[in-house]
Each structure stands twice: as structure tokens, then as C-alpha cells.
Structure 1
């Protein structure tokens, strides 16, 4: 069973939050606020925060630029994961991924099923890795952001989490780029 190993030192990670929405502004970005608050409460660093419209190329470009930034370890986006024509966040993430974390969407769906039942099938939450940076796309609702953080990301982004976690393998995420 998973647990926090108190004998290990907590290692803060630097996390960027991207809200994808045609209607949100900094004043009413509740999902971005939820993520920013939880990141700080957990002891991590909010490295960047931005709001972009539902534009696949612009989203992918922001993800790439944050992946290239040595001051950012993780990018969490919120919004644009649904089924409508304007929902292009998942496609933008997949344009950037080197590897997809397939189980992230599965686990998120499992968590969501306990909260919202079969409505969970409408989410396309996803996770992946690019240029040594973790990328996660969450739905745009504050509840979904709380669930993803509280049930998955808070644990996996804690170096003390056992039996394994995302932080301990961070130094090896881009090892293929360093090989000659």
C-alpha cells in the first residue's frame, strides 16, 4: 500500500499551471486557483501561471517553452479536455509528448467514477513526459482539479511517497537525450 516515508527528505518541485479557456480571466480562474493553492500547501513552487484560449498550436507552444525552461519540472493544465469542438488541450499535449503516461488517465477516471459516476467517461485527462518535464492535462472544473491533485498528483509529486513516485525518476526522464 502507498505511504509517505517520513525518513526521506521532502523535495519541492517547480510546477507551472496553464488554464485553457476562451472565457476565464485571472479574476475568475477557479480551477487555476485550486491548483495554485494546493501546490503551495504541499510545499512545492508555483513556477509560472498563465491563461490561454482554446488554440491547439498556442497551447503546444506554451507547453514546449515551459518544457525547455530549466526552472519548471511539471506542467499542469486545466480545461479543454472534454468532447466539444473547442476542446483541444489533449491534442496539444499529445503533440508535445515524447511518452504518454497511459495509466494517469485510467487512474483519474477511476477516481472520478467514485465522485461523479459514469459522467467520468466524458473526461480525457492525460499525462506525459517531454524534454524531462512532466505534463498533465486536467478537466476545467475545480472539483476535477481537486480530485486529480488530492488523489494522484500530490502523492506522485512527493519524493517521500512509497513504493515509488514521479520525483525520484525525474533525473532520468531525459537520459535518452544525453546519450551519444
Structure 2
């Protein structure tokens, strides 16, 4: 009986050694070191703009839109936002006179911590970036809108929001 047990243990050890040996041998034979065919180029590092720094030619950008088109596109926003003077908050805050208002400033709306901490004034550039991709412009905000990819649509909504105010900002 002891002899049978020794044969079993020896067989198991032998199988393990063979498997490890084959693995090691195949690594030696089929060397997996990759040769990179390229030249190393030294480049100067350039400072990367953050998500909140979008460079555009503002007058040219706004010229793509119209207030009338903005009124039509805003219908996508109307489910969550009111645009009327003295309009009530809905799922999102009322947007009458939003231009030049500090983010998170309406007292009767519960903003996300991200919007409260953001602390910037809504102007043409800020709204353009936010409307392009709200989730990446102000990370952590609660707005569940994917954004307006089309420049004409964004410019038009911004012009419409600017006109929907007691004190519209002068166009650049």
C-alpha cells in the first residue's frame, strides 16, 4: 500500500515538474520580448486646457444661431426648465434671466453640490460648454441631458436664453 502511495505522489510531482518545465522552456524558445520599431522624439510638454476652457470665436459662433431657432430647440429643455418670467422651477431650475447669474444661485431650487461649488457666472462661453456636454463640463451635476452637439442649436439656445431676461447681455 505504501508503495502505491509513493508511486502516486511521485507521478503528481513529476507531472507538475513537466508542466512547469515545458512552460519555462516555451518561454525561452518563443521569446515574447517585443522590439519597438520607432524613434524616440523629444517633445516639449504643453499645458492642457481643462474641460471648462473651450476656445471658440464667440461672435462667429453666435452668428450661427437665431433666437427663433433657439425657441424651437428649447422645447427639448422645456420638460425640465421653465423660461417664463416668474416661472416656477421644475425638475431643473427656472431659466429666466439665467445669463450673468452665478451657478447655483436660485434660492428656491436644490442644486447639486457640483453646481453650487462651480461658482461661475453663466455667460455665452460657459453656457456653450455646458450645453455641449453637461456631464463633463461640470462633473457631478444632476442634469441628465446628453447635450447639444450641433453648434447652430447651441448658439440659438444661448441667444434665446439671453433674450429671455430683464437685462440681456450685450452680444460680443
TM-score, normalising length: structure 1: 0.26
- Larger proportion of strand: 1
Question: Which protein is bigger by CA-based radius of gyration?
Answer: 2
